[in-house]
Chain A
Amino acid sequence: MAYSDKVLDHYENPRNVGSFDKEDPTVGTGMVGAPACGDVMKLQIKVGENGIIEDAKFKTYGCGSAIASSSLVTEMLKGRTLDEAQAIKNTSIVEELALPPVKIHCSVLAEDAIKAAVADLQDKKKMKRKNKNDDS
């Protein structure tokens, strides 16, 4: 299969590979996919006081397009609010990376990863508020 130059670039030089401490209250972690299906993405976002995503990191088990999709997403996320992050659609990943039809599921997985990371962060905030209320 021939890959687009952009996929190759992200695959050869993946951006923002790594992990944050997932217990950190300012970090949201999304883990999507399954090893049996051949792809698992872990996406993490770190959000500042102002509610803006300061940093993002990923690790992905999967094909070249899955790695490229998650690498691209970490770049797209920085500087966005959580609402803006959730508005990212898989189609913009497909377009940016020129993914062929058989690889569209990689972009869907990346979109799911964003949603899962944001949801995790929001859960943490809720828990924190709840704990505070319980304390008082």
Chain B
Amino acid sequence: MTNETQAMPIYMDYSATTPVDPRVAEKMIPFITESYGNPASRSHPYGWTAEKAVENARNEVAKLVNADPREIIWTSGATESNNLAIKGASNFYSSKGKHIISVATEHKAVIDAVREMERLGYETTFIQPEPDGLIDIKKFKDAIRPDTVLASVMMVNNEIGVIQDIDALGKACRAEKIIFHVDAAQATGKVEIDLEKLPVDLMSFSAHKTYGPKGVGALYVRRKPRIRIEAQMHGGGHERGMRSGTLATHQIVGMGEAFRIAREEMETENAHIKKLQLRLLSGLTEIEETYVNGDIEKRVPHNLNISFNYVEGESLIMAIKGIAVSSGSACTSASLEPSYVLRALGRSDELAHSSIRFSIGRFTKESDIDYAIELLKEKIGRLRELSPLWEMFQDGVDLEKVEWAEH
């Protein structure tokens, strides 16, 4: 093996997780080594120090999204926040009705939590987004029923990076007195969030998508008008009874610092990342038969999801091992089904199998982008030489009209 293949690839999978910012890691360490007190200990300075750090972090999280710190409760991550919001609010308000609205392109943590409510006797409607990944507000309104209790829509999609119109969707919910939950795991530090203005009742956050540590997240629970949820984790009554369990001080401190940096640096950082995204986009679309998945305007600059027609995603990932990306190809997932998100957009299975998600961020350099473009150009050419579909396309065969032996 050469040195090149042994070196770690360039990281372009920021939507999976981000590296912890060194400033964040530095802040966390003393809360593992020295200030190890339990923030719930009221009887000595070990506890007081930890509690102060936790409350300071809570302030930082609240500030990023313009909320009251008392509206932020700590969880283990966005998956737990989504579960707590969906199960906790639907259960609490079940007397209003037992119908839940969500979207076909949501993260599995939302889809499966909603499915679990189905098992408990709730009815559900999953809205199909438009081919650009965005929700038609009319379709959303049409899905609302008198017994709709909760709607859950993600702000930024994890696969295609499109930004939903949360304000309009929230207003539609308010008008019908429906609890509105938003999964914002992929949104913090990427889009402006102002919960003073946004008509959102519950919002999920994750630390590790915003340069914080894994294993910690938060749920925003609105105070005015007050939203109530049933706890899913019972115990010592932490977090005003909504989520028991000893607080992980060092993780929480990390999340607070990560969100502080996001608030202060978001504007300049996003301008830089936008330039990189455009550079990547113009380089890759020079390749024939490429298709961008999801709206390109209403999208975070961090994401570019492209299908390279006639090349299978997994073999492409093998070929471009100099960069770390992910694919909507079935072969990279355990289920052997291509990306359900791309299929919900009406993309053919072929294009879903041929998709690559590039997600970039704080530490991506212009030279990384140029390397990725060159690599893709070379390897796509090689794999298309190997592809019978490319050969047929070149010969003018309409692949739609071929009778394939599906297996």
Seen from chain A, the residues whose Cβ lies within 8 Å of a Cβ on chain B are 1, 3, 11, 14, 17, 19, 31-42, 59-64, 66-67, 102, 105, 108-109
Contact = CB atoms under 8 A, between A and B. Distances in A.
A64 B314 contact: yes
Q: Max chain A CB contacts within 10 Å: which of B311, B329, B353?
A: B353
Q: How large is the interface on B (under 10, 10 to 19, 20 to 34, 35 or more residues)?
A: 20 to 34
B350 interface: yes
User: Chain A interface secondary structure, helix, strand, loop or mixed?
Assistant: mixed
A38 B406 contact: no
Contacts of B399: 35
B318 A38 contact: no
Nearest to A18: B385
B315 A19 contact: no
B311 A63 contact: no
Contact of A60 (B314, B348, B350, B386): B386
A34 B404 contact: yes
Contacts, number: 83
B130 to A, nearest CB: 22
B353 A38 contact: yes
Contacts of B331: 38, 63
Contacts of B388: 31, 40-42, 59-61
Contacts of A35: 348-350, 353, 389, 399, 404
23 contacts: A14-B386, A19-B391, A31-B388, A33-B407, A34-B406, A35-B389, A37-B406, A37-B407, A38-B329, A38-B338, A40-B404, A42-B388, A42-B391, A60-B387, A61-B312, A61-B388, A63-B314, A63-B315, A63-B318, A64-B318, A66-B315, A67-B315, A109-B407
B120 interface: no
Contacts of B405: 32-34
A33 B389 CA distance: 11
A3 B332 CA distance: 13
A9 B116 CA distance: 45
